[in-house]
Chains A and B, each alone.
Chain A
Amino acid sequence: MSVIEITGLSKDFDAVRAVNGVDLAIQEGELLVVLGPSGCGKTTLMRMIAGLEKPTSGTVSIGGLNVTALPPRARPIAMVFQSYALYPHMTVFNNIAFPLRARGKMSKTDIRDKVRWAASTLGIEALLERKPRQLSGGERQRVALGRALVKEPKVLLLDEPLSNLDAKLRASARDELQSFQRRLGITTIFVTHDQIEALGMGDRIVVMSQGKVMQIGTPQEVYHNSVNTFVASFLGSPGMNFVRRGHYLLGFRPEQFVPQEIAGSKDNLQLFNFDVTRVEYLGAEQQVYGVVEGSSDERKVISSLSSETHIKLETGNTYVFGVQKQQLRYFDYETGLSIDPQPL
């Protein structure tokens, strides 16, 4: 049974429809990532699940109970904000104990035990007497998680929890957060605009754009079988390449678009004449920018190659590049929707 059930959820801010008819079912113990560019409504969606925004229409059910009309404190949820929102005047201990004290009916020793349990789970026992301003970004994040955990929520909501960390720390925080979620088996909704976080952490990904859900699926599904050009180009760094062929857009990923010599046997290849306009060296890989000859529009196409490759590519020259035919994706030129079944 799904822990959260969302049906027809919409939210208007004056004339703007921030969330537009979202339907979503979240399974027990799952880590669901809501991914989208800023302004796509993903944070509003999460705030409606938390009860911080009243939906214009639609319902939210948590654990089989319709909570649409309930305030946040009556919902079995916990939330970690992007800023971590630690109470700056309280010690780490008091921050973590706050939800327990707010709920009441808990003895001092029980509260202390619970806080110690959360602190040891997150490895922050040594920080309990500190104030938030004496903590590093990563430590703050753990405190915020600890405060969310002690509530023993049915659902944990995380609003861009990694975006305040520096790039190096983010990779390890991703790993830590995911293994932590697995260990506790807590149903988690994770909002982010970072597709690497989404692909790397999500059991399933919900891709949103302009208030609507574009696609829901496993990372592999949304990456390899994107339902439309938005999802295809938003996922991946850089996103999918498109070349127009009549009514179709031919889509292929930059890492699948390689010189013919590397691609191997010609039989199974779709070949393109590729005019290279720029080669960008990025350490481990290089990105080759250019235009495909015979395309009906002049879209830039990018190829991601290993820097180790022996083929020398020079700006201004034309090379033969190829894509495995089964890796090509066809989209309708007008609607941007994936053609189903794919014409081969």
Chain B
Amino acid sequence: MNATVTAKKQWTKGFRFWSDREDLLGPLFLLPAVVYIIALVGIPFVIALAYSVTDVTVGNTSLDFVGLQNFQAILKTPQFKQGLGNSIMFTLVSQVIIIVLANILAIILSADFRGKWFARFLIMLPWATPITLGTIGWLWLLDSKFSPIDWVFRYLHLLGEPGALLGAQKNLFYLARLELARASIIMIYVWRMLPLAAVILMAGLTSIPQDLLDQADVDGASFWRTLFQIKLPLILPIMSIALLFSLIFTVGDMAVVYTLTRGGPVYYTQILPTWAFYKGIESGALAEGAATALFLFPVLLAVAILVLRFSRRTEVT
């Protein structure tokens, strides 16, 4: 009797008591994540929602409800329209390029060759670089006067002499010319997101059972048939998740445009996140900034739900 009491005392006091109490530990371990999400995602989101339907500015912080006036107002400005168009175009074009290149890269990297780990390491580098630093690197590479890319073109006689393929001028002025500036931004998005997408797809490819690939081989399928009828359909669920990640990272990013072009020339490379920042923070029009930032939210939410449902539906095992 006495022994049981002592044992019970030790039990309830000790570390082992805690380590067996899932009902207490569960909420405890979840707490940091919940606090983090509420404080840094939930509250700002609610504030942004509130701001977008009021007349708040940096100068006048009283919240007076104005309905959808902010949305009507921003829709009339050419900068917003340009930003919306650019956001959609940059994202769509970069995602198409990313998904094609990521598939090719994943297939190459999941093959067996010497120096595979080194190639994988190199591929991952853009993802490991802070995005702003990476973009500054590109800013230098695309410099109007000192671009090393232009050096190479001049060295190859493709630029800077009469009759050269890329023109007689000394530089291409990547960020000063509309099409080149847009292409540069898209290229940096691709450069940035490709590693993540490729690694996710590679994981998908390696998870295909070898038996299935052997069977396809015995069944007489060529490389392309195996790729398009076996491999790609089987990694479709994971591919849609990779696409969703890449899409949301790209559409919500402002660092690339902010660092590279600041929305220029004029406002022709402006995107919604940068325009929201300039409008809401730099010019102090908090309400219109919030409305701009939130504009794509319903669309993104719908896209995310659709992609996740698609991914679930195409899952086969």
Contacts and interface: CB of A to CB of B under 8 A. Distances in A.
Residue in A72, A78, A82, A103 with the greatest tally of chain B CB atoms within 10 Å: A72
Contacts of A79: 214-215, 218
Contacts of A82: 211
A133 B316 CA distance: 8
A72 B233 CA distance: 23
Interface string B201-240: 0000000010110111111111001000110011000000
B221 A87 contact: no
A133 B209 contact: no
A8 interface: no
Contacts of A196: none
Contacts of A77: 218
Interface residues of B, number: 20
B317 interface: yes
Contacts of B215: 79, 81, 85, 87
Nearest to A88: B316
Q: Majority SS of interface residues in chain B?
A: helix
Interface string A132-143: 010000000000
B209 A99 contact: no
A169 interface: no
B224 to A, nearest CB: 11
Contacts, number: 66
Nearest to B225: A102
Contacts of A151: 219-220
Interface in B143-165: none
A32 B314 CA distance: 41
A78 B215 CA distance: 9
A85 to B, nearest CB: 4
Contact of B217 (A71, A87, A133, A147): A71
Contact of B221 (A50, A73, A83): A73
B316 A52 contact: no
A183 interface: no
Interface string A32-56: 0000000000000001001110000
Contacts of A51: 217-218
Nearest to B234: A89
A89 B211 contact: no
Nearest to B236: A89
Contact of A102 (B212, B222, B314): B222
Residue in B216, B217, B219, B220 with the greatest tally of chain A CB atoms within 10 Å: B219
Given A87-B230, A89-B234, A147 B209 contact: no
Residue in B314, B316, B317 with the greatest tally of chain A CB atoms within 10 Å: B316
Contacts of B229: 87, 98
B220 A89 contact: no
Contacts of B209: 83, 85
A23 B219 CA distance: 26
A106 B44 CA distance: 62
A170 interface: no
Nearest to B212: A85
Given A85-B215, A87-B212, A89-B234, A99 B317 contact: no
A98 B218 contact: no
B212 A72 contact: no
Nearest to B208: A88
Contacts of A71: 217
B234 A88 contact: yes
Contacts of B212: 85, 87
B211 A78 contact: no
A113 B234 CA distance: 28
Given A77-B218, A81-B214, 6 more contacts: A51-B217, A52-B218, A73-B219, A81-B215, A87-B229, A102-B216
Which 6 interchain pairs have the tightest Cβ spacing?
A85-B215, A73-B220, A88-B316, A85-B211, A99-B219, A102-B220
